Amino acid sequence: MPRLLLHNRQIETIFQLLGGKENDITYSVGWALYRSPSFLREFLRSTIGKDGEVGEVIVRLQHHKDPGGFTDIELELPAQFHIIAEAKRGWGLPGADQLQKYAPRFQRSAYLVRRLVVLSECSVEYATHHLECQDIQGVPVQPLPWKTIAKLAIKASTQGSHAEKRLLHELVSYLGRVTTMQSIDSNWVYVVSLASGTPEGWKISWIDIVKEKHRYFHPVGTSGWPKDPPNYVAFRYYGRLQSIHHIEAYEVFSDPHEKFPEIPSKQWDPSYLYRLGAAFAPASEVRTGNIYPSGRVWCMLDTLFTCKTISDARDKSKKRQEKVESPE
């Protein structure tokens, strides 16, 4: 089988040629809804509980009306239903002003069922709690995670034609690359610094959260924190590397007290909570090196076992990555 490379990166699905921006993801899902009746039926069951033929459904992408602006995806079946999907990459949710702009479109439509669907990384529970409005002038607002879209595509692939199966398998692979999913084949380690004390008002230290609770958390994609969960995380304190852990599972939360009774209740921005695997580390000491006290760095796993400092491992990893990514 030949290999297709784009800037030295292997391309495995046609959707990757579009890119990974918000509109690219929207176009990919819209194309799959249009080309796979099985996927379209699963989507309609999940959003409005509709079964039946979908041959007359109209799929619109970036459709413009004034007032009402552009929509990401619209699904219409005359006299039956009208669905507008607002798509977001990451854990951001549209505000009330953004959702309200679609109200005139729904007011003009004479459909039996109307729905505004919000596509994002957010779980249904999180989005339901944090969406600024649950309906737009009587039209329900329904959150739908990208992971659910992937599950619907997987389910539809067991029902459709061979062409649909290939298309949906490629869509699932693409969504796994551009939405929040842990990269199981990555050997990059996210190395973070743990403060030695206990934060004010807490009854547990950062070090004890890791050593005793086997957990760690950080904001999702803000202030330089990762927007995608790493495969490995390592901790440094007291001037050296202390432990490396595989991230066995993760979830998103916003109130730390719900996860740790020792921390007061407070509403945070979306944060990842990691369940850490068993600790391991190099046999010899690895000092911090040239990294500022609270600095966070990325290192390839093997470099932490072959370098004398974390900063050397960081630099070696960067040079190796630059060599791989540089077009010939």
**Helix%, strand%, coil% for the chain, nearest 5:** 30, 25, 40
| Cβ partners under 8 Å of residue 240, min gap 6 | 285, 286, 287, 288
Distances (CA, A) of 301 to 282, 310, 313: 10, 11, 9
Q: Do 47 and 142 contact (CB within 8 A), yes or no? A: yes
Per-residue tens of pLDDT for the chain, all 328 residues: 577 767 666 767 777 667 778 888 999 999 999 999 999 999 999 999 988 888 899 999 988 777 667 889 999 998 889 999 999 887 778 888 888 888 888 877 677 899 999 998 887 877 887 788 888 888 999 999 998 999 999 999 999 889 999 999 889 888 877 776 555 457 899 999 999 999 999 999 999 999 999 999 999 888 899 877 888 999 999 999 999 999 988 888 889 999 999 999 998 888 899 999 999 999 999 999 999 999 999 999 999 999 999 999 999 999 988 876 654 4
- The residue whose two tokens read 């999702």 is 220
pLDDT in the model for residue 324: 67
Helices then strands, counting H and E runs in the chain, come out as 10, 14
Output the pTM of the full model: 0.61
| Strand segments (E) across the chain | 5-6, 9-10, 58-65, 69-77, 81-87, 113-120, 135-136, 139-145, 188-193, 215-219, 232-237, 240-253, 271-276, 297-300
3-state secondary structure of 299: strand
**CA 294/CA 313 separation, integer angstroms:** 17
Strand 139-145 versus strand 113-120 pairing type: parallel
Token pair in block for residue 10: 């292997």
Environment class of 94 (CB within 10 Å of its CB; exposed 0-12, middle 13-18, buried 19+): buried
How far is C-alpha 253 from the chain's CA centre?
Answer: 14
pLDDT for the residue numbered 112: 85
Q: 94 preceded by cis ω (within 30°)?
A: no
Give the whole-angstrom CA distance, residue 59 versus residue 287: 57
Give the chain's length: 328
Report in angstroms the alpha-carbon separations of 317 from 103, 113, 323.
Answer: 51, 54, 10
Burial class (CB in 10 A: 0-12, 13-18, 19+), 71: buried
3-state secondary structure at position 109: coil
Question: How far apart are alpha carbons 118 and 84 in whole angstroms?
Answer: 9
| Local structure of 210: helix, strand or coil | helix
Phi (first) and psi of residue 176, to 5 degrees: -65, -25
Q: How far is CA 55 from CA 98, 149, 233, in A?
A: 31, 20, 48
Show Cβ contacts of residue 289 under 8 Å, excluding neighbours closer than 6 positions.
Answer: 308, 309, 310, 311, 312
Q: Which residues pair with 6 in a beta bridge?
A: 9
What is the Cα–Cα distance from 43 to 233, expressed in whole angstroms?
36
